[in-house]
Amino acid sequence: MGLRRVVVTGLGVISPIGAGVADFSDSLFAGRCGIGPLSLVSTEKLSVRIAGEVRGFDPAAHFDARRLGLLDRASQFALVAARQAVEASGLGFDGPLGLRTATILGTGVGGITTLDEGFHRLYGEGAQRLHPFTIPRLMVSAPTAQVSMEFGLTGPSFTASSACASAAHAIGLAFQMVRGGLVDAAVTGGTEASLTFGALKGWEAMRIVSPDGCRPFCETRNGMVLGEGAAVLVLEPLDSAKARGARILGEVAGFGMSADAKDITAPDAEGAARAMRAALADAGLAADAVDYVNAHGTGTTANDVTEARAIHAVFGDHARRLMVSSTKSMVGHALGAAGALEAAATLLALERQVVPPTAGVERPDPACALDVVPRDAREARVEAALSNSFAFGGLNAALAFRRV
Amino acid sequence: MSDLKNDVLSIIADKGRVERDRLALDARLADLEIASLDVIEIVFAIEERFGIEIPFNANDARKEFDTVGDVVRAVESVVAKPAA
C-alpha cells in the first residue's frame, strides 16, 4: 500500500475560550481572551494569579459517579473532547473499524490533580493511605486508555509525552499510521489539566510566567500564561472520507520533528527551523505556498524572538508576507494539549478562511518582524498552514495542514 | 564586606560554578558564563537562605540582573525593607 492522503473529519474541544467547536471557534475569531484570575486553587501563597482556565466544566454532567471516580480532570477533558470529535466524524467503531483505529493522545504531566491532592493528604495531613484509584487516575497513559475504552478502539494506543509538544507529536504519529496503512482511522490530540497548587509553584519558581497577560510577539510581552484543556481530532484516509460523504475539515499534509540537543529550557532557532522544514518537505509544500503559521508563540522573551528567527530562516522573503499568530494569547499555554488546540485553530482557519489573531498585542515587536495578525481576526486566503510546537528540552514538532 | 554580601557572593559562586575571586560587582553574569537557568537557581538559593522573596521575572533577566552587583543590590534592598 502506498501513502494515503489523511484528512480530519471530526474535532472536539474543551478550552478556556469555549467548550465545543462552535464556542471555541466563535471566541477564536472574535479575539476573545479566556485568561483571567485563577479560581481552581487559592492564590494566597502564589505569585502566579492568572491562567486560562476551563470555566464552568461540570464533570457530573458528563460522567456518572462510578466512572468519575476513575477520572482525573485530564481524562475528563480528553473524554469529553473525544465524544464531540467522534460524534462530529459520524464514524462508528463497533464493527471492524474499531480494530483498525489508533488512539494516540499527548499530555505533559497526566493526572497531576490526583497526584497533588493525594500527596497533600499524605505529606501535609499525615494520612496513612491513598485512594486505591490513585495510580490508574494519575498515569500519563490514562486519558488514552479511557478514550480507547469509551469507543472500543482496539488498535495501537499510547500516550506521547514531550512537554509542550506532546499533542503535536501524538497527532503526527497518528497521521503517519493512517497514511502508511497501519490503521484506517485515528482518534488523536492532547489533554492537560495541570493548574494545581504544586504545579503552579513549580512554574512560579521558573520565573517565566507573566503577572498580567499573554502577549506573544508584543514588545511589552513579559512571559507565558498557563492554560488547560483538550482537543481531539478524528483522522481517516481522504478516499474513505469522500466515499462516505463525510464533512472534511482539512488535510493533515505533513509532519516534521527535531531535537535541539542543546538546552533543557532555552529554545534554539536551528532546531525549530529543522522541524518546520521537515514538515514542509513531508507535505511536498513549497515554503511560499504556506499562508499562515500558528506559532508556538508563548509570550516569553526567549521563545518569540527565537521562533521568529526560525520562521525567517525557513521562509526567507516570504516570512514578511506570511501571517503568523499565536492563539495562546487567548487560550494560554495548555502545555501537553497546546498542539491539539492549535491544530484545531489552524484547521478552523483553513475551513473558514479567517486567520485567528494574536490577541492583546499592544505593539508588535520589531525584533520579530512578522505580521502577527494583531488583535483582530483577518479574512484571508488560507490554502496551507503550519502549526508549531516547540517544547522544553528542545523537542520540536511541526504539523502541516492543507485545505481540501 | 558585609555578611549579607559575602553570603550572596558565595551562593553565586556555588550555583554559577564560578571562582569566587572573579565575582567583582561590575562583572557581567553573561561574561562569567552564568546562564539564565543558573540565575534562576541563584535567586532561589538566596530566597531560601534569607527567607525572602526577590521580585524577578526571567523575561526581564538581562534588564534586572546584568551584573553581580545587580543581584547583591536586589537582595540588599529586599532585606532592608521591614517585613510586611
For the stretch A9-23, pLDDT in tens is: 999 999 999 999 999
Write out pLDDT tens, residues A154-198. 999 999 999 999 999 999 999 999 999 999 999 999 999 999 999
- Kindly report the CATH number assigned to the domain that includes residue B66: 1.10.1200.10
| Best of B36, B44, B47, B59 to mutate (most A CBs within 10 Å, chain A) | B59
Q: Which of A16, A391, A398 is nearest to A166 (CA)?
A: A391
For β-strands A6-15 and A18-19, DSSP reports them as antiparallel
For β-strands A384-391 and A292-294, DSSP reports them as parallel
Q: What's the pLDDT band for B63 if we cut at 50, 70, 90?
A: low
Q: How many C-beta neighbours within 10 Å does residue A97 have?
A: 19
Partner residue opposite A222 with nearest CB, options B35, B44, B59: B59
Query: How many domains does the structure of chain B reveal?
Result: 1
User: Hey, which bits of A358-403 come out as E strands?
Assistant: 378-379, 384-391, 395-402
The pLDDT of residue B84 is: 47
pTM for this prediction: 0.94
Domain interval for residue B19: 3-80
Q: pLDDT at residue B81 above 80?
A: no
User: Is the Cβ–Cβ distance between A346 and A189 less than 8 Å?
Assistant: no
* Chain B neighbors of A210, CB-CB under 8 A: 57, 59
The pLDDT of residue B61 is: 52
Q: How many C-beta neighbours within 10 Å does residue A150 have?
A: 17
The pLDDT of residue B9 is: 96
Give dist(CA A31, CA A373) in Å, integer.
Answer: 11
Write out pLDDT tens, residues A66-86. 999 999 999 999 999 999 999
* Higher pLDDT among residues B59 and A249, named by residue: A249
Write out pLDDT tens, residues A351-383. 999 999 999 999 999 999 999 999 999 999 999
Q: Where along chain A do its domains lie?
A: 6-243, 253-402
Q: What is the average pLDDT across B28-47?
A: 90
Residue with cell 495501537: A156
The pLDDT of residue A232 is: 99
The pLDDT of residue B83 is: 53
CATH 2.120.10.80, domain A253-402, yes or no: no
Look up A164 and say whether it is catalytic. yes
Q: Which residue of B has its CA nearest to A202?
A: B44
User: Is the Cβ–Cβ distance between A48 and A38 less than 8 Å?
Assistant: yes
Look up A218 and say whether it is catalytic. no
Q: pLDDT at residue A2 above 90?
A: no
CATH class of A6-243: alpha beta
Q: pLDDT at residue B50 above 70?
A: yes
Give dist(CA A375, CA A269) in Å, integer.
Answer: 26
* ipTM of this complex: 0.76
Residue with cell 493526572: A111
Mention every residue, 6+ apart, whose C-beta is less than 8 A from residue A123.
Answer: none
Q: pLDDT at residue A1 above 50?
A: yes
Q: Which residue of A has its CA nearest to B57?
A: A207
User: Is the Cβ–Cβ distance between A12 and A358 less than 8 Å?
Assistant: no
Q: pLDDT at residue A225 above 70?
A: yes
The pLDDT of residue A346 is: 98
Give dist(CA B20, CA B13) in Å, integer.
Answer: 5
